[in-house]
A = this chain, B = another copy of it.
Amino acid sequence: MLSLLELAEALQAECQPRDSAHTTLLHRVGSARNADATSLVPQLAATVSSPGKPLLLVQQPRLAFAKAWRLLMDASNVPGVHPTAIVAASVELAEGVSIGPYAVLGEQVRIGKRTEIGAGCVLAEGVQVGEDCRLFPRVVVYAGVQLRDRVVVHAGCVLGSDGFGYVRDAETGAYTLFPQQGTLTIEEDVEIGANTTIDRGALEETRIARGTKLDNLVHIGHNVRVGRNVVIAAQTGISGSSAVGDGAVLGGQVGIGEHAAVGEGVILGGGAGVLSKKKLRGAGKIFWGRPAQPLREYLKGLAAVARLTRKTKNQL
């Protein structure tokens, strides 16, 4: 049995950027996973062009491939603080940390082992970053925000900015910012796409729980709680004080109003809209539309309108 690292090296040795042969192979193993996997070995071996190559058989081939690749990637970091980085006197850097050029770290910032802070990142006072994190260039982290271990933040993200909560003066119509002095916690293994913004809590906390993945240009409002292993596709926005349960899957451009709750394992189709204070429940249940409805009902509504349209056409 090969280790994952050996698998990775074997794959890389064979894999050219445009050569998808190995993917094909893995895919075949993947699509046959409902069959008895071991019975497939001779069949697969026959389809591989050069029979001298090792044949890898794993339960979840795409997953093994992804994990193997990650092992190879992790070797890229070169520790050290670039001479142009501005690191306040009270900053604590663990061993193996890399701080890129023109990064700025405020007082009391703490960075865990082997973490990489990219060029031009700005970490305000009291920011804490765990071990084995990677912040790509030009990430801004506001004061007091906490990132745990193995967090990946892509370029241009803004973490911990003031939430959008205003008090309207009933006499003048002018707005005053409601205090936005809460915190933001990003738990372990969270990954955040480019130019995404996550606001800090107003009086409390915004929290993204472990293992959750956010795509590019996502917006997370103040006091929002996102559970574990949630997937949120690009340009989705979650308004203040809403909650998303563990394992939920949100398509792109989804919009969630304030104080709403998306239950554990709920799936929201791309562009779906959840009204303020609305609660959606049901693991594995798919909702779609604006306002979001159970998929079947939404599709029936679309079909009903289509029939109506056809009927009108016939009458004309």
Contact = CB atoms under 8 A, between A and B. Distances in A.
Interface of A: 17-18, 20, 23, 60, 62-63, 65-67, 69-70, 84, 86, 100-102, 104, 118-120, 122, 124, 136-138, 140, 142, 154-156, 158, 161-162, 164, 166-170, 173-179, 181-183, 189, 191, 193-195, 197, 199, 203-204, 211, 213, 215-217, 219, 221, 228-229, 231, 233-235, 237, 239, 246-247, 251-253, 255, 257, 270-271, 273, 276, 289-291, 297, 300-306, 308-309, 312-313
A252 B63 CA distance: 36
The complex is assembled from copies of this chain, and their number is 3
Given A161-B155, A189-B174, A239 B255 contact: no
Contact of A66 (B142, B154, B176, B235): B176
Contacts of A301: 305-306, 308-309
Contacts of A270: 239, 255, 257, 273, 276
Chain A interface secondary structure, helix, strand, loop or mixed? Answer: loop
Nearest to A232: B164
A18 B246 CA distance: 24
Contact of A137 (B69, B122, B154, B239): B122
A176 B253 contact: no
16 contacts: A62-B167, A62-B178, A84-B86, A86-B102, A156-B195, A162-B193, A164-B213, A164-B216, A166-B213, A193-B197, A219-B252, A234-B237, A235-B235, A237-B253, A270-B273, A291-B302
A195 B253 contact: no
Contacts of A156: 140, 156, 158, 195, 197
B233 A239 contact: yes
Contacts of A216: 158, 161, 164, 197, 199, 219
Contacts of A255: 235, 252-253, 270-271
Contacts of A170: 60, 63
A195 B218 CA distance: 11
B179 A66 contact: yes
Nearest to A179: B69
A257 B303 CA distance: 20
A169 B101 contact: no
Between A65, A178, A270, the greatest number of chain B beta carbons within 10 A of the residue's beta carbon is seen for A270
Given A104-B102, A156-B140, A194 B197 contact: yes
B164 A158 contact: no
Nearest to A305: B301
Contacts of A229: 173-175
A91 B120 CA distance: 20
Contact of A213 (B102, B158, B175, B219): B175
